[in-house]
Amino acid sequence: MSTLERFRDDAYTGERRCWPCTVVNVGIVGLVVAAAIVLDYPVVAGVVGVVGLGAIWARGYVVPYTPRFAPQLVAALPIGSDPFHADGGAQVPDEDGTLADEEMDGETVLTRLVEAGVVVPEGEDLVLADDFYDRWHARMDAHREASAEELAGRIRDLVPGASVSVEDGARGPYVVVSQSGTASLSDAWLTRPVAIAEVAAVEALDGTGLDEGTRLAAAEPLRTFLDVCPDCGGAVEVTTTVECCGGSAGATDPDEVLACTECDTRLFTFPN
């Protein structure tokens, strides 16, 4: 792997580039360059311009923690609707998508996971059993380089009878699981990281004695146990949607979510 490839961050470049982050960073670099020119430091201005713009091109931003404040900053500007994401792809639902095509009582799912030894008590908390943790993470690692089309193909194998397609959204491809054959907002729209996590979870649950319906229903709640991003491998934390890149800036009652600290991808939305 070349130095450039190690420096690049695919989470914020290419089709996944966050334009509020890009615009804010270009503006900051421009201000620093202008200040250096005014102070008669042309060499400094040149270096800052080249390095700053190069970093923005390769990584998406140069100012630390930009994804946490740039979308909120842009949303606060008096420019009407979001100019960056309005036409970036198909309209997608606000709710998290999941492989389960029917509601199963959460307590029932949890009870079955405990009985199968997938989830075990640890003091007052519940944690994943070590062997399941290892199997799940091994499957996520195996799918990390998979394309959205490859993940869609695997989902077709796991959800018999469902129609699965790939649709472009404002922030990347979605794997859409539909019972009708035509993607609609009522269908399950899975982001790539969520698709990786749920496909890997269902695969890792094979051999535990759980039936197919329970394995599919368990894929969503198991995402609450994620400690690394299924896509980029970054650490995750509980935060709110206003802190996520492109989240609900200015929301009066933001959702509490599990999100990656590196790529700011939302991995689970906790019920209000």
pLDDT recorded at residue 165: 87
**How far is residue 201's CA from residue 220's CA, in Å, rounded to a whole number?**
9
pLDDT recorded at residue 93: 61
pLDDT recorded at residue 15: 60
- Which whole number is the average pLDDT over 198-212? 94
User: Does residue 227 carry a pLDDT above 80?
Assistant: yes
Domain extents for the chain?
3-75, 91-225, 226-272
- Which whole number is the average pLDDT over 27-43? 93
Is the backbone of residue 117 left (phi > 0), alpha (psi -120 to 50) or beta? left
* Three-class HEC string of 122-149: ECCEEEECHHHHHHHHHHHHHHCCCCHH
pLDDT recorded at residue 170: 63
**How far is residue 150's CA from residue 153's CA, in Å, rounded to a whole number?**
5
User: Does residue 50 carry a pLDDT above 90?
Assistant: yes
% of the chain exceeding 90 in pLDDT = 40
**How far is residue 154's CA from residue 178's CA, in Å, rounded to a whole number?**
15
| Average pLDDT over all residues of the chain | 80
- Which whole number is the average pLDDT over 124-134? 94
Which of 55-59, 124-128, 153-157 has the lowest average pLDDT?
Answer: 55-59
* Model confidence pLDDT, tens digit, residues 188-197: 889 899 999 9
pLDDT recorded at residue 9: 61
- The residue length of the chain stands at 272
User: Does residue 86 carry a pLDDT above 50?
Assistant: no
pTM: 0.66
